[in-house]
Amino acid sequence: MARSDGELILVAGGAGFIGSHLTLRLLSEGHQVLCLDNLQTARSSNLRLLEGRPGFRFVEGDIVNPLPTAVTEQAHRITRIYNLACAASPPQYQADPEHTMLTNVVGTHHLLRLAEQARARFLLTSTSEVYGDPEVHPQREDYRGSTSCTGPRACYDEGKRAAEALTFDYARMNRAEVRVARIFNTYGPNMHPDDGRVVSNLICQALSDRPITIYGDGSQTRSFCYVSDLVDGLIRLMESDIDGTEPVNLGNPLELTVGDLADRIVAMTGTRNALVHRPLPQDDPRRRRPDITRARDLLGWSPRVSLDEGLAKTCAWFAEELAVEREAVAAE
Ligand code: UDP
């Protein structure tokens, strides 16, 4: 899949959790990657993993603003644009809801304009959050969703819905060739330990001396996809010749309750920390599971990494990260 030396892939949000894995994979396939990131939620260690690798270049910038010259002056060489630029963890995207909304709408618009100018294929990473608190289960792409435009999640889920609408309009107007992935819960190395999402929270709590926090009674469900599977799906979607005017779900259909997830992490880490219940956040979806028939049929994609294998890798990675952090604190 390697391109000729002159071609370039832009990854907006390339220093983030999924973005850093995608960038590493693209570089390993021989591509050149221009990573545009505002470092809002990215870890500096993710950037250190990437910097110095052949073909990698970092540009600091926020897609809410007009794109930096260091990006626009490369437009003639850019053949693919991945948009992964947005905080995705509920506490983080709710911390500055105005910025989250603008990132999705104005930021996506800036990247679509670049795609049009560069004649580059554009991939939007949308989200299972467009289904809101779903009344249809599992969620197929033709389900229109049940979101709340008045609640605290709206900046993200309504922002992504608007980003999808704009992206499909660009395709309808023949202004850009587009792909839209709806990503379900994803986990793995390179997540931020303080990210606030359930997998990182529970593992980091289990590996330190903090109680394990279950929001609500823990009966709400999610389906967790290991990050290497997700990245594989994104690249397949980008490179496929499918009609890009339909979104594609990418996620692992294995559904489990948050309580079951906590039990697995407790068993895997051997922690004796207490399990404590905290209030369920407002508008927290009760159930979530992707129907991935479309991804299977169109892309030949389905997840390969089992939950136990993925959690074991993630626990091992966090154990190392937390040990490094502890050493740094002790040395201060
Ligand atoms: N959750 C939890 N404990 C935590 C963090 C999250 O029980 O420490 C719950 C949260 O309320 C939700 C689920 O785990 O029901 C997944 O939350 P996450 O923030 O990872 O992502 P979401 O799918 O809600 O966007």
What pLDDT, in 10s, does the model give residues 288-308? 999 999 999 999 999 999 999
The answer for 154, left when phi > 0, alpha when psi is -120 to 50, beta otherwise, is alpha
CA 323 to ligand 1 centroid distance, Å? 25
Is the pLDDT assigned to residue 150 strictly greater than 90?
yes
Domain assignment present for residue 110? The answer is: yes
> Does residue 198 line the site of ligand 1, with CB under 6 A?
yes
- Based on the structure, what is the number of domains in the chain? 1
β-sheet bridge partners, residue 57: 34
Q: Does position 8 have pLDDT exceeding 50, yes or no?
A: yes
Residue 16's CATH number: 3.40.50.720
Residue 2 confidence (pLDDT) above 50: no
Mean pLDDT, all residues of the chain:
96
Q: Please state the three-class secondary structure of 166-221 as a single string.
A: HHHHHHHCCCCCEEEEEECCEECCCCCCCCCCHHHHHHHHHHCCCCEEEECCCCCE
CA–CA distance, 137 with 133 (Å, rounded to integer): 10
Contact 121, 81 (CB under 8 A): yes
Give the contacts of 114 (CB within 8 A, at least 6 positions apart). 10, 67, 71, 72, 75, 78, 81, 120
Higher pLDDT, 72 or 329: 72
- Please give the C-alpha separations between residue 32 and each of 77, 157, 181, 220, 280, in angstroms, as whole numbers: 10, 31, 22, 41, 43
In angstroms, the CA 310 to CA 293 distance is 22
- For the cut 60, the answer to whether the pLDDT of residue 4 exceeds it is no
Q: Ligand 1 in contact with 90 (CB < 6 A)?
A: yes
273 lies in some domain: yes
Calculate the alpha carbon distances from 113 to 124, 241, 289 in Å: 13, 22, 33
Is any ligand 1 atom within 6 A of the Cβ of residue 87?
A: no
| pLDDT average, residue stretch 225-248 | 96
- Asked whether residue 131 carries a pLDDT value surpassing 70, the answer given is yes
CA within 13 Å, CB half, 261: 30
Please write the tens of the pLDDT for every residue from 31-59.
Answer: 999 999 999 998 889 999 999 999 999 99
154 belongs to a structural domain: yes
Is the residue at 150 inside a domain?
Answer: yes
Beta bridge partners, 180, equal 124
For the segment 192-226, what is each residue's pLDDT rounded down to a tens digit?
999 999 999 999 999 998 999 999 999 999 999 99
Per-residue pLDDT, 144: 97
Q: Is the pLDDT of residue 5 over 70?
A: no
* Ligand 1 centroid, distance to 195 Cα (angstroms): 11
197 alpha carbon – ligand 1 mean position (Å): 6
Mean pLDDT for the stretch of residues 176-185: 98
Of residues 131, 156, 170, 226, which has the active-site annotation?
156
* Averaged pLDDT for residues 88-110: 97
Reported residue count of the chain is 332
58 is a domain residue = yes
Q: Is the pLDDT of residue 18 over 70?
A: yes
pLDDT at 321 over 80: yes
**Is 197 touching ligand 1 by the criterion CB < 6 Å?**
yes
**Measured distance CA(237)–CA(190) in Å, rounded:** 23
Q: How confident is the model at residue 6 (pLDDT cuts 50, 70, 90)?
A: low
Residue 1 lies in a domain: no
Q: CB atoms < 10 A from the CB of 213, how many? A: 15
Q: Residue 310 — pLDDT band, cuts 50, 70, 90? A: very high
* 272: containing domain: 8-256+262-331
Tell whether 3 is covered by a domain: no
Supply the residue whose CA is at minimum distance from atom 5 of ligand 1: 198
Number of H helices, E strands in the chain: 12, 13
CA distances from 10 to 14, 77, 99, 155, 162 (A): 8, 10, 21, 25, 22
Residue nearest to atom 3 of ligand 1 (CA): 214
pTM: 0.97
Per-residue confidence (pLDDT) for residue 248, from 0 to 100:
98
